[in-house]
């Protein structure tokens, strides 16, 4: 139950919402929405791998322009669009299971207009586990989807889908994501991400 300020920082009513199941639908919707950004694209993730493909081909390959890191770098070249990524500064044992994403992401975004920040201001043993994309403070994707090549999935949930990259851990099943275009909720979306130093 969401009760501000006890179980939630803020609550707001959404004028419209949609449920996206599986990362294939999430990546398609997120890419389309980010492509239409006019002012800001802010991502908040537990894990974020810049080399993740929006539309992986069999074997896990695809064009570099389809990789989310390159996509965000291209968006950030527009001086009108503020692109930020806030990601958990993962503990080394966890980072090792996810291609050392904190280090690889820092390298991927170095020297670009993307503002990439690792969040390590947490109690010992804790992690931030939010997963969110906020575009122009007008639409938000929130839910259980990390950005990683092993997270891509379809409604068929094939264990050996040739389009999904495997890691050392088992792949997850369905991921539920919601998109929110509520005018009342807009200020709260952006504040979650902007309340961190860059």
* Percent of all residues in the chain with a pLDDT value above 70, rounded to a whole number: 78
Query: 87 pLDDT band (50/70/90 cuts)?
Result: confident
**Average pLDDT over the chain, rounded to whole?**
79
- For the CA atoms of 43, 46, 68, 194, the dihedral, rounded to the nearest 10 degrees, stands at 20
Tens of pLDDT, residue by residue over 73-85, are: 999 999 999 999 9
Rg (CA), the chain: 16
Whether 48 and 101 have beta carbons less than 8 Å apart is answered as yes
Q: What are the backbone angles phi and psi of residue 151, rounded to the nearest 5°?
A: -95, -15
Most confident option among 89-93, 115-119, 156-160, 165-169: 115-119
pLDDT higher than 60, residue 195: no
Query: 173 pLDDT band (50/70/90 cuts)?
Result: very low
| Predicted pLDDT of residue 184 | 47
158 vs 189, which has greater pLDDT?
Answer: 158
167 vs 26, which has greater pLDDT?
Answer: 26
Least confident of 89-93, 133-137, 183-187: 183-187
**What is this structure's pTM?**
0.77
Three-state SS for 161?
coil
Whether 135 and 34 have beta carbons less than 8 Å apart is answered as yes
* Percent of all residues in the chain with a pLDDT value above 90, rounded to a whole number: 31
pLDDT higher than 90, residue 176: no
Fold of the CATH domain 17-194: Endonuclease; Chain A (3.30.870)
| Predicted pLDDT of residue 79 | 97
Token duo for residue 192: 């979650």
Measured CA distances, 48 to 33, 56, 89 (Å): 18, 16, 11
Report d(CA 90, CA 139) in Å as an integer: 27
| Predicted pLDDT of residue 113 | 97
């Amino acid at each position: 139950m969401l009760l501000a300020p006890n179980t939630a920082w803020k609550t707001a009513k959404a004028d419209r919402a949609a449920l996206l199941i599986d990362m294939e639908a999430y990546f398609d919707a997120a890419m389309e929405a980010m492509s239409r950004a006019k002012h800001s694209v802010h991502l908040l993730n537990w894990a974020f791998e810049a080399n993740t493909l929006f539309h992986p081909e069999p074997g896990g390959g695809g064009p570099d322009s389809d990789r989310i890191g390159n996509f965000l770098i291209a968006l950030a070249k527009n001086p009108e669009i503020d692109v930020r990524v806030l990601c958990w500064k993962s503990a080394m044992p966890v980072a090792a299971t996810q291609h050392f994403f904190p280090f690889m992401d820092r390298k991927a975004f170095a020297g670009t207009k993307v503002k990439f920040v690792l969040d390590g201001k947490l109690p010992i043993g804790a992690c931030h586990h939010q997963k969110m994309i906020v575009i122009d403070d007008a639409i938000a994707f929130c839910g259980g989807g990390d950005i990683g090549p092993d997270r891509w999935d379809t409604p068929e949930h094939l264990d050996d889908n040739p389009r999904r990259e495997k890691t050392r851990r088992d792949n997850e099943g369905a991921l539920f994501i919601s998109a929110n275009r509520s005018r009342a909720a807009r200020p709260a979306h952006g504040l979650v991400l902007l309340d961190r130093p860059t």
